[in-house]
Amino acid sequence: MMRIKDIIWPVIPALLLILAGPRQAAATIYSYTDANGVIHFSNVPSNPLYRPRGGLPRGMSRESRYDNNIREAASFFNLDPLLVKAVIKKESDCNPYAISAKGAVGLMQLMPGTARDMKVSNPYDPRENIFGGCRYLKKLSRLFNGNLDLILASYNAGLDRVLSTGTIPDISETRHYIRMVRHYYLTYQRDR
C-alpha cells in the first residue's frame, strides 16, 4: 500500500524550484534524512546535516563554485585569491552553511563578533562571508607584515593569542591548520 508521503516526497524539490520563481530556479536544494527516516528539504539549510541534492553544474567543483566571489574580494583587498580559496577549503570545505562547534559560520567560518566587526550582516551569504573573511585576512596581514604563518595562526586561534606572544601558539590544532592551508594553497598554485 502506497503512503501519501511516498507520493509527495519525490516531487518536493521540483515544487520548491517552481515556487521560488524564475530568479531562484538555479538554487541548490539540500536534504537530510533524520533518525526517524523522514527526509527534510531546504533551499536555505539551517542544520549542518543538510547536503546538496544532485551534483553541481557540469565542470564545476565544490572548490570552484565561489571562484568569482573569491576573485572579486581578493582583488578588492589585494590578497591572493588562491590563499583565500585555501582558507575556505580548510575552514568549511566550501560549505556556505557550515557551523563550527564554537559558533563560527559560513564559508570562511567567521565568529559572530568578527562578522560584526567585518561588516557582515548575513554570514550565510557566500559573497558577504567571503568579503568579511578577506577584510579580516587583510587586517591580519597588515598587523603581521604579511607573515603568512602568523596571519593563519591568528585566523585560527584568535588575534589576541598571537599578539600576546608574537608567535604561533603551541596549539596542535593551529599548527595543523597552518599546514593544511599551506598544503591547499600550494596545490591550487600548482594546478593553476
What's the 3-state SS for 37-86?
A: CCEEEECCCCCCCCEECCCCCCCCCCCCCCHHHHHHHHHHCCCCHHHHHH
Mark whether 94 and 14 lie in a shared domain: no
Mark whether 116 and 87 lie in a shared domain: yes
pTM above 0.95, yes or no: no
Mark whether 44 and 72 lie in a shared domain: no
Mark whether 169 and 125 lie in a shared domain: yes
Catalytic residue among 72, 91, 128, 173: 91
At residue 61, the pLDDT reads 57
What is the rounded CA–CA span in Å between residue 43 and residue 112?
Answer: 23
In a domain, 20, yes or no: yes
148-153 long-range Cβ contacts below 8 angstroms, 24+ apart: 148/83, 148/182, 149/178, 152/87, 152/177, 152/178, 152/181, 152/182, 153/177, 153/178
In a domain, 154, yes or no: yes
Please state the domain count of the chain. 2
In a domain, 59, yes or no: no
In a domain, 61, yes or no: no
At residue 18, the pLDDT reads 46
Mark whether 86 and 159 lie in a shared domain: yes
Tens digit of each residue's pLDDT, the chain (192 residues): 555 544 554 545 444 444 444 433 345 666 777 777 777 777 777 777 777 665 444 444 556 789 999 999 999 999 999 999 999 999 999 999 999 999 999 999 999 999 999 999 999 999 999 999 999 999 999 999 999 999 999 999 999 999 999 999 999 999 999 999 999 999 999 987
Mark whether 86 and 176 lie in a shared domain: yes
In a domain, 98, yes or no: yes
Mark whether 109 and 139 lie in a shared domain: yes
Residue pair 87/138 in contact by the 8 Å Cβ criterion: no
Handedness of CA 32, 37, 41, 47 (dihedral sign): negative
What per-residue string of b and e applies to 64-103 under the rule 16 or more CB within 10 Å gives b? ebbeebbebbbeebebebbbbbbbbbbbbebbbbbbeeee
Mark whether 21 and 101 lie in a shared domain: no
Mark whether 89 and 37 lie in a shared domain: no
Mark whether 84 and 11 lie in a shared domain: no
Domain extent, residue 147, equals 67-191
**128 tagged catalytic:** no
Mark whether 131 and 168 lie in a shared domain: yes
